[in-house]
Structure 1
Amino acid sequence: MKKKTRKGPGPHRRMFKWLILAPVLLILAVQAYYLARIVWWIDHNPSMTSMMAQQEEALREKNPKARLRHTWVPYDRISNHLKRAVVASEDANFAEHDGVDWDATLKAFEKNNRRHKIAAGGSTITQQLAKNLFLSGSRSYIRKGQELVIAWMLEAVLDKQRILELYLNVVEFGRGVFGAEAAARHYYQTSAARLGPAQAARLAVMLPNPRYYDRNRDTRYLARRTNLILKRMNSADLP
């Protein structure tokens, strides 16, 4: 009596497995790439970020010779006034959280549900850095999820001072203006190291919508919010 031979999985079943496995492998590969870049940035400085590349491409659609304004400066050559102003304005709990401020995230989620659209992000400095380094300015819960994962990687690999140093050097301060040094030169014709309290507070307040405030530098909101951040700066904890 012949033994029955066990047949392997048919071609359709194998294809189904690969349809499931391939996206998982791709996601893992992307995360590994992000992690490798973050490890590299422990002691190397990024010369170009995802947000910079997008902005440069947009500028060059109108002017092929357009260039970004960006000069890297180390942490100790950035005014403590600007560091405190940015923390006070963007992420008061920066020194304490692990990359995500869950209270702010929950409030943003509730606000978005009321408006039936993604209007608020509740992003910490670490999350904003994640977006600037790797992602786009689009708003979706998928992109937000990836932002959270990268933020955790940043916090796991880098210390708070390095995260703040990276952020202050790559964040957008105006159309084609990236980083503290370029912002100080663009708005005040001085260096990032010599920014005064009022100048620093004003720059920090511009961060949520820098291109708008680059064009509209004398709005009532900008003046009112700048005065508020000036009062909060001294209580901001720095790494």
Structure 2
Amino acid sequence: MQFCYHINAGKEILEIKDELFNHLYKARRTKIQTLLCFRNLQDNNLYTYKHLQIEKKQATLMLVETKKLPLASTKKLHLIWAIIENKNIEKTLPYLNQLGVKKISFFFANRSQKNEKISLERLHKILISSCEQCNRSDLMEIELLKNTQEALQKYPNSFVMDFDGADIYASRITNFENGIFIGPEGGFDEIERQMFISQKKLSISNQFILKSECAALFISSLATI
């Protein structure tokens, strides 16, 4: 862990309670003389605190240093990702965060499993934990859209990752700030492909069929080059 997240990081006095208290003082056995670093994942600042006291169920800290230390991706990669199994999204999300993905717009494609329930709160917690581990200073944006049509209306200048697209290597496109659609397991259906008739389509030249989460990782890795 490179720092701890606290929504109030930056305030003169910081109180540590509940889950974070248990992690810092019961699991990690943090001592009173130890300085602790915090971020709020909003302002790119790294805040250093010293202990005033450690009690049975909470600790009180005082701010001693504020340092502007942005550690974020310079490429504003935006994935427009069809919903797949929730467990696979949750496993992949920390890797996408480490690769610097700026935003993910989740949407229900026609072949998405409609019984999947996406908890933005849970994904938010996963992203915070990932930032603490990889030292990223900004929090990835996530949103949930109703269907393919709504996603396309909101992001009309986006690309589409699909089987019959142009070779992504030959195109040398690595800027996906306007978004790139990634389909669910089984890909997009014919109705959706008609919706994408005006979009620039991309694919890989070897014709391998990528799982949805693999495609998300592939695009994210390509965008870091």
State the TM-score, normalizing by the size of structure 1: 0.25
Name the one with the larger helix percent.
1
